[in-house]
Amino acid sequence: MATDFTDKVRISVHAGKGGDGAVAFHREKYIAAGGPDGGDGGRGGDIVFTVDDNMSTLVDFRFKRKYVAGNGQNGMGKRCYGKDGETLRIRVPRGTLVRDTETGAIMHDMSDGADWTAAKGGRGGWGNMHFATPTRQVPRFAKPGLPGESHDITLELKLLADVGLVGFPNVGKSTLLSVVTKAHPKIANYHFTTLFPNLGVVYVDEGVSFVLADIPGIIEGASEGAGLGHDFLRHIDRCRLLVHLVDVSGSEGRDPVQDFDAINQELREYNEDLAARPQIVVANKCDLLGDDRENLERLRAHVEELGYSLYEMSAVTHEGTRQLMTECARRLAELPPVQHYEADYVPPEPVVDTSEDLEITHFDDMWVVEGPWLQRLVATVNFSDYESRMYFDRILREAGVFERMEQMGVQNGDTVSMYDLMFEYQD
């Protein structure tokens, strides 16, 4: 059924939270002052997209829109580390674009078959075994785990086909696909028989093959949302070569020259690059012409004037289909590979609401600073990057964190702990 073809969905993904570090002390007979032995929490599970070549649509996402990875296990005594959270793998068809829903920017193109991590799990918190020093022998604190990343994502399927069949409805695209491949599209003598794209593999010769896509018929106004063509024009974005079928039989009272120009205009309005894509023009249904070849010759003169070559064909009788596929293979051998979309997503600078109060706790020469907004901030800052560190320092100073610690008596050289960040205080 046509309703089973889904090529654009919106989902939300949430990586797992890191497990909390443990506060524990070694207790064993005949061993005095065993010391702290609280283990670290496990890392939260990632959200990973993986290509499944057995999938051809995004229909699996119609009824499930929220995906959550496993949380890391909390640390335990005896220096036992918590188990890492289970990574959640989301299977998508090859050729799926992953976009940021808010900005529409491309985060990743799932066309090369490699796995891609969309959201990283939060780091596990440190247990109190990390905080023992000669002057701090009984640390009664540990670090909580950090939250995992979250994203609202739009999945957009763009078929990976070498050649795309375009043209008005009922010009013979599905018939041609069924003749030259093993695909079995629905074929009938009415418009919009094809309600979703069909793919087939054309085997031209030993070691020579390509993927052919039958795109639902485009009509005038498709680029503005009329008919079905607007919904599926995205599927020829990657096609290296277009085969433009035109009905020259006049069986429906249409003018082939006007049809040819109308389809190209729709392609231009949707995407200028598509109109400039290499194109083979095919006059189909030539078996119905009889002695009246006026339409055929008018179309030939028109397309040759525009620099295209015209192929005569009858998909029903198979006349000219072999020659057309051979020409497609020859042209593809000269064209660059299928388009791969580069990611242009730039993570936004986190918006931090510092109005929430922070808890500052003093243990000997250790200062532990905790709070919801600080936890979110630490989870998003890349501390290996100088500018990110300066941004983090600026936020803390503007929020008055260091000023408050100075009022509480912090000294130069004291250790400051903020979740999985630890540094010496210097005023």
Report pLDDT digits (tens) over 355-394: 888 888 887 778 889 888 888 888 888 888 888 889 888 8
Question: Does residue 79 carry a pLDDT above 50?
Answer: yes
Domain 163-332 has CATH 2.120.10.30: no
Confidence tier at 193 by pLDDT (50, 70, 90): very low
Where do you find CATH 3.30.300.350 in the chain? 350-427
Question: Does residue 190 carry a pLDDT above 50?
Answer: no
Using CA atoms, how far residue 148 sits from 44, 119, 121, in Å, is 7, 7, 4
Where do you find CATH 3.40.50.300 in the chain? 163-332
Superfamily of domain 7-157: GTP1/OBG domain (2.70.210.12)
**Considering the entire predicted model, what is its pTM?**
0.75
pLDDT at 3: 44
- Please report which helix (H) or strand (E) contains residue 138, including its range: none
Using CA atoms, how far residue 17 sits from 72, 171, 292, 332, 368, in Å, is 6, 55, 73, 48, 20
At 56, which amino acid appears? Answer: S
pLDDT at 49: 97
* β-strands 208-214, 163-166 pairing: parallel
pLDDT at 75: 93
Where do you find CATH 2.70.210.12 in the chain? 7-157
pLDDT by residue (tens digit) across 275-303? 888 999 999 999 888 777 888 999 999 99
Cα gap 312→327, rounded to integer Å: 13
Domain 350-427 has CATH 3.10.580.10: no
User: How many beta carbons lie within 10 A of that of residue 277, not counting itself?
Assistant: 17
pLDDT at 4: 53
For 75-108, letters b (16+ CB in 10 Å) and e give bbbebbbbbbbebbebebbbbbbbbbeeeeebbb
pLDDT at 191: 45
Of the CA atoms within 13 Å of residue 386, those in its CB half-sphere come to: 0
Phi, psi of 193 (to 5 degrees): -60, -40
pLDDT at 414: 87
